[in-house]
Amino acid sequence: MSVNEQHQVQNLPIQLLGRKVLKLLTEGNFMNTSIPSRAIFQLDFTKLKRLVLIGLICLIALIPLFLLVKILVTAGTDSISNDYIRFTKLADRVLSEGYDWRWYFKDTLDNNVHSYAFLFPVRLVLAELTHLSVMAEIYVGLAITFVNLLLLFSILTRFIGSTSPLRFLLLPVLSAFIFSYSQISTYSFGETALQMGFTHLGILVGLWMLLLRSQSFFTPWVMLICGILSSFSGGSGLLGWPVFLLAILITNTGSLNKYIIWLVGLGIGASPYLAFSNYSIF
């Protein structure tokens, strides 16, 4: 075979492809080729309307938070009150050289009713980063409360198995209660904003795991950690333990594991109150 013939054989596939393209162009069959354009570009208007409706409901749910933040930003100044004297004295004592850490849980029991064993170091970090800014504590408390709102909504809707888009109507209702003007005294004070935020966060995360991830290996341990941190963020955190017990009774399949871990957590969370508090309701 000559060199010219070999060159023609090598170019044969290209020549065949060129002939096919030329045939399509001359016959116009390429215009009749079916392209699934509708399958690609067709919009599902029903789904789009649903997403727009959910988006509008979520925006409405943000209105109470926006109004509350507007009041907090425009009223008052970023200055500490005499209530911060307890915090600054405790910080001075704990951070001093030679502090006896055996008394940490006693020293962080505020007014005999609130254990701040976890909340106190959080406030120390914020004070260091923001130069003891009250507004910084308030904003962090509001952010945590917003997360709590989402957790509560998830628990109420997913546990009952609701999948209807109408379930999002619950968001504005919960937001109106949580961020109502009647709660302004809580959110306008940094200590209470953080206290309520962290105690509720611990309870809701533990409850979310118990109700929606009841079969997970990590659930009882998350409950344990969240319950202790909640109890060490304020006295109201102790309310998480009966709530956890009720959730265990509802979802437990008969294993003693969760009950044992719950009992251990209750003992740890309540220990500062039982050991050092002399508060009496009588």
By the 10 Å C-beta count (0-12 exposed, 13-18 middle, 19+ buried), 128 is classed as exposed
In this prediction, residue 41 carries a pLDDT of 44
In this prediction, residue 52 carries a pLDDT of 86
In this prediction, residue 223 carries a pLDDT of 96
Distance CA 192, CA 145 (A): 12
Residues of the chain with pLDDT under 50: 2-12, 17, 21-22, 24-25, 29-37, 39-42, 282
Strand duo 114-115 + 109-110: pairing: antiparallel
In this prediction, residue 64 carries a pLDDT of 94
pTM above 0.85, yes or no: no
For 33, 105, 123, 172, 245, the CA distances from 117, given in Å and listed in that order, are 73, 6, 11, 34, 23
Distance CA 162, CA 160 (A): 6
